[in-house]
C-alpha cells in the first residue's frame, strides 16, 4: 500500500493545518525535528485533542503533509515533533468544480464544509436572481477558508477546494464553458441512476456541477443553463433544500468517478 493510501486509513491520527508548512519542511528529511511555537496550537493539541508524548499526528498545508510523532510540550506554547514522513499533498481527479449559489449563512457554511469533505476541487460562488448580495469580501473569504480547513482536517482531504469570489451565474457559466461534463440537479431532470451510469462509463477529466438556490433558478436562468449544454438530473423526486442537494450531488459524482490521486 502506498503512503498516500495509508494516511487516509489512519483515522485515529488527528490532522492539523499549518500555514506555510511546505516552506518549513523544505530540505528536511524524515527523522528531523521541528519546533512549533504557537500558543493556540499548544492548547489545541494538549487540552482539546489531549495528545501526549509519543502520539502520532499529521500536519498539512495545501501542498505538503507530514506524519509526525509528538516529542515534547515545552512551556505554554512550544510543540516539538519528529517527522516520520513527508509527502506532496494528493489531489483528487477527475476535477470537480461546483457552482454554489450564495445561501443563507448557516446553509452556506454547511455546504462549504460538505463540498470540501466529499472531495470537490473548486467552488465557484454565484449570484442568481433569487440570491441576495450577502458577500462582504475579505471577511467572508477568511471565514470560508477556516471552514474549508476544518473540513480538510476532519476528512483528510488535504487538497481542499479553491474558493472563488462570487460572480453572476452568466459569468460563471462562461468561465467554465470548457468543462467536460456539466450537470444541473433539478427534480424534473433525468434519472440519477442513468446520469451516474453514463458519468462512470465516460470518466470525464472535468465535471461542472450546479444546484439552484432556495426557491430554485428562474425559468430564464434554466434556459441559460440548458443552452450551456448541462444535463438536467433529478437527485430525488422531491424538492430538497439547496444545502442538502449540494452535498448529495457532489457525493454521488465523486463516488462514481475513478478518483486517482496525483
pLDDT tens for 212-221 read 999 899 999 9
Would you give the end-to-end CA distance of the chain in angstroms? 15
Mean pLDDT, residues 188-194: 94
Sorted by where each starts, the structural domains of the chain and their CATH numbers stand as 3-88 (2.40.240.20), 92-261 (3.40.1280.10)
Mean pLDDT, residues 184-201: 95
pLDDT for residue 2 is more than 70: no
pLDDT band per the 50, 70, 90 thresholds, residue 133 = low
Query: Nearest-CA neighbor of 230 among 165, 177, 171?
Result: 177
pLDDT band per the 50, 70, 90 thresholds, residue 189 = very high
Q: Cα angle vertex 183, ends 182, 189, to 5°?
A: 140
Q: Which residue has the higher pLDDT, 79 or 131?
A: 79
User: In this predicted structure, which of 65-74, 175-184, 226-235, 250-259 has the lowest mean pLDDT?
Assistant: 250-259
Predicted confidence at residue 261, as pLDDT, reads: 58
Q: Where do we find the cell 462514481?
A: 256
Predicted confidence at residue 131, as pLDDT, reads: 84
Mean pLDDT, residues 115-122: 96
Average pLDDT, the chain: 91
pLDDT for residue 8 is more than 70: no
What percent of the chain is predicted at pLDDT more than 90? Answer: 81
Predicted confidence at residue 53, as pLDDT, reads: 95
pLDDT for residue 9 is more than 60: no
Mean pLDDT, residues 126-145: 82
How far is residue 97's CA from residue 100's CA, in Å, rounded to a whole number? Answer: 9
Count CA atoms within 13 Å of residue 247 on its CB side.
Answer: 14
Predicted confidence at residue 83, as pLDDT, reads: 95
Mean pLDDT, residues 143-170: 94
pLDDT for residue 236 is more than 50: yes
Q: Which three cell numbers stand for residue 60?
A: 498539512
Q: How far is CA 211 from the centre of its chain?
A: 17
Amino acid at each position: 500500500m502506498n503512503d498516500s493510501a495509508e494516511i487516509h486509513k489512519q483515522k485515529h491520527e488527528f490532522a492539523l493545518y499549518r500555514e506555510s508548512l511546505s516552506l518549513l519542511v523544505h530540505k528536511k528529511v524524515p527523522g528531523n525535528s521541528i519546533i512549533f511555537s504557537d500558543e493556540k496550537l499548544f492548547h489545541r493539541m494538549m487540552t482539546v485533542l489531549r495528545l501526549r508524548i509519543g502520539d502520532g499526528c499529521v500536519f498539512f498545508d495545501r501542498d505538503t503533509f507530514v506524519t509526525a510523532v509528538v516529542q515534547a510540550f515545552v512551556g505554554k506554547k512550544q510543540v516539538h515533533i519528529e517527522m516520520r514522513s513527508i509527502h506532496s499533498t494528493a489531489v483528487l481527479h477527475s476535477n470537480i468544480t461546483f457552482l454554489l449559489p450564495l445561501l443563507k449563512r448557516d446553509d452556506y457554511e454547511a455546504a462549504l464544509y460538505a463540498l470540501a469533505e466529499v472531495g470537490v476541487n473548486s467552488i465557484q460562488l454565484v449570484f442568481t436572481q433569487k440570491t441576495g448580495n450577502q458577500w462582504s469580501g475579505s471577511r467572508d473569504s477568511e471565514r470560508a477558508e477556516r471552514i474549508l480547513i476544518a473540513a480538510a482536517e476532519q476528512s483528510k482531504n488535504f487538497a481542499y477546494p479553491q474558493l472563488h469570489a462570487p460572480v453572476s451565474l452568466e459569468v460563471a457559466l462562461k468561465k467554465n464553458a470548457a468543462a467536460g461534463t456539466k450537470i444541473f440537479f433539478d427534480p424534473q431532470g433525468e434519472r440519477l441512476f442513468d446520469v451516474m451510469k453514463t458519468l462512470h462509463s465516460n470518466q470525464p477529466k472535468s465535471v461542472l456541477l450546479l444546484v439552484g438556490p432556495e426557491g430554485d433558478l428562474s425559468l430564464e436562468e434554466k434556459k441559460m443553463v440548458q443552452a450551456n449544454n448541462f444535463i438536467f438530473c433529478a437527485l430525488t423526486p422531491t424538492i430538497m433544500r439547496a444545502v442538502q442537494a449540494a452535498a448529495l450531488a457532489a457525493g454521488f459524482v465523486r463516488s462514481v468517478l475513478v478518483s486517482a490521486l496525483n
